[in-house]
Amino acid sequence: MPTLQYNRMPRLDEWRSDSSVTLAVRSKDSVLCRIDSLIDAFYTPGPLFVGHVITCDLFFTLDYWLKSYRTNGTTNAS
C-alpha cells in the first residue's frame, strides 16, 4: 500500500476513499469506525480546543489500529 501524506486533515469521504477498506469490513471494525467518527467530528463547528482533543484522540486511535493490524494482520472486528 502506498504511503499517504496529508497537508491538512482529510474530509471523511477522502479518508474513506484513501483508506480503501471495503464497507463490509469497515463496519465490523470498531476502531476504524471510531477513526471515521473522529475525522467527521473534526469538521464539526465548535471551540478550538475540541479540535485539539479530537486530533490527539485520532493520533492515539490510529496508532492503536496500526499496531493491532501489524500484530494480527486483520482489522479489529468486535
Q: What is the pLDDT of residues 31-64, one digit of tens each?
A: 989 999 999 999 988 888 898 999 999 999 999 9
**Partners of 29 in beta bridges:** 77
Residue 59's closest CA among 29, 24, 28, 35? 35
DSSP designation for 49:
H
Cα(62)–Cα(68) distance, rounded to whole angstroms? 10
Q: Which structural domain range is residue 67 located in?
A: 22-72
Residue 8 within a domain: no
| Whether pLDDT at 23 is above 60 | no
Cα(12)–Cα(70) distance, rounded to whole angstroms? 24
When divided into structural domains, the chain yields a total of 1
Helix (H/G/I), strand (E/B), else coil: 26: helix
Helix (H/G/I), strand (E/B), else coil: 4: coil
| Mean pLDDT, the chain, integer | 83
The pTM for the full model equals 0.74
- Look at 8-12, 21-25, 55-59, 63-67 and tell me which has the smallest mean pLDDT: 21-25
| Whether pLDDT at 75 is above 80 | no
Residue 15 within a domain: no
DSSP designation for 29:
B
